[in-house]
Each structure stands twice: as C-alpha cells, then as structure tokens.
Homo-oligomer: A and B are copies of this chain.
Amino acid sequence: MKDKIIFNDEELQSLARRFKILSEPSRLKILRCLFKGEKCVTDIVDTTGLLQANVSKQLRVLLINKAVECRQEGLQRFYSVSDEKIQKICKLLCDSRKKDDDK
C-alpha cells in the first residue's frame, strides 16, 4: 500500500509550526523532563539548569501550542505533556539517528 501523505499548504504550515516547537534545545530539555511526569516550574528549572525566566518563557510557547498543559495548585503551576505523540516522534527520530550512525 502506497502510504503517501500529501498534505495541503495549510497542513504544511501547521506541520512546520509543530516542528519548530520541537526544534529548540531548551524546549526539548523541558519536554524530556516532563516525559517523566508532571512537574512544577521550580523542578523544571532545577532539572534542566535553565534560568527561571527562560523556562517560563518556553513553557508559555509549549502551552500556547498545546504541547503541554498546566494545573495550578497554590503558588505552584504543574506542567505535563499533553500531546502523547511528541514522545513517540522523538523516539522515532532518535532511533533513525542511531541507525544512521551504525552505517
């Protein structure tokens, strides 16, 4: 079965936006951290080593683009990955990289 996906221009723009979100090391670090489970901002800051301002800034990008979701509890905001595809896609790309290296 020829499984060619031909996406239209609108879908292409959307795709590009989604890939862009995943194309920044700082955001990937945050996501990697959240793959282990829900975390508050301070925990993310500690785990990633990024500055608090950057973490908040990038979390906002992730939130707006629905890559993560947020729940407030007192002073803290707990973030978690909301798009389960993200981890799958990271895994796919990582694996293909390893295969390349084997060549």
A6 on interface, CB distance cutoff 8 Å: yes
Complex-state Cα separation, A22 to B96, whole angstroms: 15
Number of copies: 2
User: Which of B11, B22, B88, B92 contacts A97 (CB under 8 A)?
Assistant: B11
Interface size, chain A (Cβ < 8 Å): 39
Complex-state Cα separation, A34 to B22, whole angstroms: 23
A15 with B94, Cβ < 8 A, contacts A23-B23, A100-B66 known:
yes
Which candidate, A24-32, A38-46, A52-60, A71-79, is the interface stretch facing chain B? A24-32
User: Which of B20, B22, B97 contacts A14 (CB under 8 A)?
Assistant: B97
Q: Which residues of A contact B (CB under 8 A)?
A: 3-7, 11-20, 22-25, 28-29, 32, 35-36, 66, 83, 85, 87-97, 100
Across the A-B interface, give the 9 residue pairs with the lowest CB-CB distance, nearest first: A20-B23, A19-B23, A19-B22, A85-B96, A5-B91, A23-B23, A16-B25, A19-B19, A12-B28
